[in-house]
Amino acid sequence: MKARQKRLVLVGLALVGVAGATTLALSALQSNISYFFSPSQVMASEHPTDAVFRVGGLVVKDTLARQEDGLTVHFKVTDNAAVVPVSYTGILPDLFSEGQGVVAKGRIGTDGVFYAEEVLAKHDESYMPPEVADTLQTAHVDGIVEQTTGTNTPRSMTQ
């Protein structure tokens, strides 16, 4: 084999190695990604049906219900345009409360309930997750447009 052929083989093997490492890294990242969806998007079925995703908004007042086991809770999350029922088994964060911002990570069930694996609450009085703030702002603007055009009646938070 000539020196030139050896270099070409070495460069080819290096490219194959880099491509393999890139493929492994991308597949690892893909399995850990969980996209954020607003309650409006979830109710419009824009969410994945077979993957973990996050939903966020405000916890609707007077919807928090604890089961007898002491660990399972049910509550509703809203973006002021739609409401998603959430079920979570575990210990809620200390800062979790009704009327406050929350992000839940999990899957949607065939019954339309979001089964959360993890629940995150805001960490101080002025903080709200950026995704939740954007969702609430969009829902607010959409609600104003709907009210001024008369095309749709905004949904109640207690739905």
**Segment 113-117 mean pLDDT:** 93
**Distance between CA 42 and CA 113 in Å, rounded?**
10
- The CA-atom distances, in angstroms, between 6 and each of 1, 11, 18, 24, 95 are 7, 9, 18, 27, 63
Q: How confident is the model at residue 12 (pLDDT cuts 50, 70, 90)?
A: very high
**Over the stretch 55-66, which tens digit does the pLDDT of each residue have?**
988 999 999 999
- Three-state SS letters, 44-110: CCCCCCCCCEEEEEEECCCCCEECCCCCEEEEEEECCCCEEEEEEECCCCCCCCCCCEEEEEEEECC
Architecture of the structural domain at 36-149: Beta Barrel (2.40)
- The CA-atom distances, in angstroms, between 155 and each of 24, 26, 87 are 45, 41, 22
In the chain, where the domains are located: 1-33, 36-149
**What's the number of CA atoms in the CB half-sphere (13 Å) around residue 103?**
20
Q: How confident is the model at residue 18 (pLDDT cuts 50, 70, 90)?
A: very high
Take residue 107 and report the two structure tokens written for it. 């899957």
**Segment 41-67 mean pLDDT:** 88
pTM beyond 0.85: no
List binding-site positions: 123, 127
Q: Evaluate if residue 3 carries a pLDDT over 70.
A: yes
Burial of 13 (0-12, 13-18, 19+ CB in 10 A): exposed
List binding-site positions for heme: 123, 127
- Please tell me the predicted confidence (pLDDT) of residue 72: 92
- The CA-atom distances, in angstroms, between 56 and each of 4, 21, 102 are 59, 34, 6
Q: Evaluate if residue 156 carries a pLDDT over 50.
A: no
